[in-house]
Structures are given as structure tokens and as C-alpha cells.
Amino acid sequence: MVTMGHSTIINASHDIMLGVRKEFEGKTRDEVFNSPLVYGVMPYFLPDIGKLNHIDKPAGFDLIMLEKDEIKNLYSTYGAQYGFGYDENSPNPEILMIMAKYQGEIAGAARAKADSKTMWSIDVDVFDHYKGKGLAAPMVNMLAFEILSRGYIPYYFAGTSNVLSIHVAVRAGFIPAWVHCYKTRLDSRK
């Protein structure tokens, strides 16, 4: 299921489509996504271009931009220590990274992957010792500006229950753009 506004698009296999149509036809977007059949709703965010402003990094932190080969080298050097994982054979490997450092120690990273010819996804991790210091949003914001400068559209996503990640998106200058349902449960008794 995908929604981008008032309508909902549902993709289902042929053998269940009639039942799915009967269940959801005529219902609003919110009724569909709040039905007992839906599981795993995830909001996606795009930058609010008209209001996107640079965010200052917290005092004492350095934000360093890394390119694809530099990311690979970082992971091979620090991967196990920081829980980083990198798969150079991935169909959409990391292209850019904003690494945060505090007094020479890695504090977190925002990463961009080329998910399509036009859109790059952003995710962010801040290590436990540095959480709550206002670091995630400036990294995401800086990465968004860099992606835009290269002619691509950055997007960010978070689980609906991850309120802190949603707050990061909004603080970084993103607004809700669409919602995606990544798994459904079908009750065989119906």
C-alpha cells in the first residue's frame, strides 16, 4: 500500500485482490491504514525546499563529509568497533556520509544511498554516549544539502513508533511526503 495524499494504491496478488478490494473500497486513507489487516506503516519525508535552512552543528563536534571509497575504508578500519557494516556488492551502496566526531572519537554518521536514478535515501545513527546532544538533525540537514547540490532528491524515513527519528526529520527541514505499508496480515478465516 502507498498513499500520497487522498488516495491509496494497493498492490495485491490476483488470488486475494477481490477480497482486498471488498475490504477497502470506499474507505478513506486513514481507515485503510488503521485497519486490522495493515502492519508496519512507515512515513517518508522530503525536504521542504522553500523553508530549508542550514542547521548549525553542536559546539565541539566536527562534521566530515566522506565519499564512497572513503566510506569503504572507514568501515574496514572501524567497522567492528562501531558496529558499522558495509556491503560493496549491495545494489545501492552508500554514496555519501556525514561523519560526526568529538575530540577525535566517532560520535555518529548520516549516510546516503542511491536508491534510484533520482532519489537518495538518508539514514542516521548517533552512538549512545552522544545521543541527546542535537547531533542527528545537523548531519541529516548537511547531507540533504549536499544531495540536492548534486541534482538528486534526498528523502528520509522512520518507523511510526520512532518519534525521535521523526523529530530529527522535521528539525532537519523535512516534511511528511508519503506513507508506505511494508507488511500486511491476512486473516484466513475471512
In tens digits, what is the pLDDT along the chain, a chain of 190 residues?
A: 887 767 788 888 899 899 989 999 998 877 887 787 777 778 999 999 999 999 999 999 999 999 988 887 777 666 544 545 556 677 777 889 999 999 999 999 999 999 899 999 999 989 889 999 999 999 999 999 999 999 999 999 987 778 899 999 999 999 999 988 766 555 554 4
pLDDT of residue 87: 64
pLDDT of residue 180: 84
Q: Which CA distances in Å does 183 have to 1, 20, 70, 133, 180?
A: 9, 14, 35, 34, 9
| Residue 99 burial (C-beta neighbours within 10 Å; 0-12, 13-18, 19+) | buried
pLDDT of residue 90: 74
Q: Which three cell numbers stand for residue 117?
A: 536514478
Question: What fold does the segment set 61-176 form as a domain?
Answer: Aminopeptidase (3.40.630)
Distance, CA of 15 to CA of 12 (rounded, Å): 8
CB count, 10 Å around CB of 72? 17
pTM of the model: 0.78
pLDDT of residue 86: 58
Q: Which CA distances in Å does 174 have to 6, 7, 51, 169, 170?
A: 20, 22, 9, 5, 5
Distance, CA of 12 to CA of 6 (rounded, Å): 20
pLDDT of residue 59: 96
As annotated, the residues of the chain forming the CATH 3.40.630.30 domain(s) are: 61-176
